[in-house]
Amino acid sequence: MSDFTQSHTTLSNIGVAMFAVADQDRALAFYTEKLGFEVRGDTRFGEHDEMRWLEVAPPGSRARLALNPPMGGEPGGSSIGVETPDVLGEHARLSAIGCIDIDPEPMRTPGAPLLFMLRDPDGNHIAVVEEPPAT
């Protein structure tokens, strides 16, 4: 048995979630042009600048979404949740844009907030969820 002493964490925030995407430029266009996210970082690195770290986020969000080439697998299959005070309005806005794989309408299940799902071009899932009430 180890002599482990539990201490309080100094971790305070989820800063970056990561999605594997097949084409970073196509993903960038989807997140900025369709969803309205902002570019938070776009940096080339590596010996010949062959790698790219690309981050986007909804305006005002502290958390960012990195759009990375697949590392040892296929793109897609990840998921995140984003919050909005107006799920119905956001669903209407995104539906009007067209060319987005989006649920036909928002849903509410007992005990859960109003939400809908959409998928990016690589099959990553985005849950658009009603913000919890302010406490």
- In 1-135, the DSSP E strands lie at 16-20, 38-45, 51-57, 64-68, 79-84, 101-102, 115-119, 125-130
What DSSP state is assigned to residue 34?
Answer: I
**pTM, entire model:** 0.80
Q: What is the pLDDT of residue 110?
A: 82
What DSSP state is assigned to residue 107?
Answer: B
Q: What is the pLDDT of residue 124?
A: 95
Q: Which residues of the chain have pLDDT under 50?
A: 1
Q: What is the pLDDT of residue 130?
A: 92
Q: Would you call 88 helix, strand, or coil by DSSP?
A: helix
The partner residues of 115 in beta bridges, in order of sequence, read 107, 129
**38 contacts 31 by C-beta, under 8 angstroms:** no
Nearest CA to 65 out of 107, 97, 36, 86 is that of 36
Q: What is the pLDDT of residue 74?
A: 83
Burial 40-74 (b: 16+ CB within 10 A, else e): eeeeeeeeeeeebebbbbbeeeeebbbbbeeeeee
Q: Tell the CATH topology of 16-130.
A: 2,3-Dihydroxybiphenyl 1,2-Dioxygenase; domain 1 (3.10.180)
